[in-house]
Amino acid sequence: MQRGLLVVISSPSGGGKTTVIQELRRRCPELKYSISATTRPPRKGEKNGRDYFFLTEAEFRNKIAAGEFIEWAEVHGYLYGTTRQYLEPLLQQGETIVLDIDVIGGLNIKKLYPQDSLLVFLKPPSVKELFTRLWKRGTEATTEIVKRFSRVPWEIAKAKEYDVVIVNKDLTKTVNKIIEVIQNYKKHGGR
Ligand code: 5GP
Q: Tens digits of per-residue pLDDT, 83-104?
A: 999 999 999 999 999 999 999 9
This prediction's pTM: 0.92
For ligand 1, pick from 46, 70, 86, 100 the residue to mutate: most ligand atoms within 8 Å of CB.
100
Q: How far apart are CA 45 and CA 77, in angstroms?
A: 21
Q: Among residues 48, 18, 24, 20, which one has the least CA distance to residue 36? A: 48
**Residues 6+ away with beta carbon under 8 Å from 86:** 34, 35
- Per-residue pLDDT tens for 117-163? 999 999 988 888 888 877 887 777 788 888 888 888 899 999 999 99
Residue 171 lies in a domain: yes
Q: CA 89 to CA 111: how far, in whole Å?
A: 19
157 part of a folded domain:
yes
Q: How many domains does the chain have?
A: 1
Higher per-residue confidence, 191 vs 164: 164
When pLDDT is averaged across residues 71-89 and rounded to a whole number, the result is 95
- Residue 39 φ then ψ, to 5°: -95, 0
By alpha-carbon position, which residue is closest to atom 21 of ligand 1? 101
Full residue range of the structural domain in which residue 114 is found: 5-186
Identify the residue with better confidence: 81 or 2.
Answer: 81
- Strands (E) across 44-169 are located at 52-54, 69-75, 78-83, 96-100, 117-123, 164-167
Write the burial class of residue 128 (CB in 10 Å: 0-12 exposed, 13-18 middle, 19+ buried).
exposed
Per-residue model confidence (pLDDT) at position 186: 87
* CATH number for the domain that contains residue 57: 3.40.50.300
Question: What does the pLDDT read at residue 147?
Answer: 81
Would residue 191 count as lying in a domain?
no
Please indicate, yes or no, if residue 16 is contained in any of the structural domains: yes
5-59 pLDDT, tens per residue? 999 999 998 778 999 999 999 999 999 999 999 999 999 999 999 999 999 999 9
Q: How far apart are the first and last CA of the chain?
A: 20
Residue nearest to atom 15 of ligand 1 (CA): 101
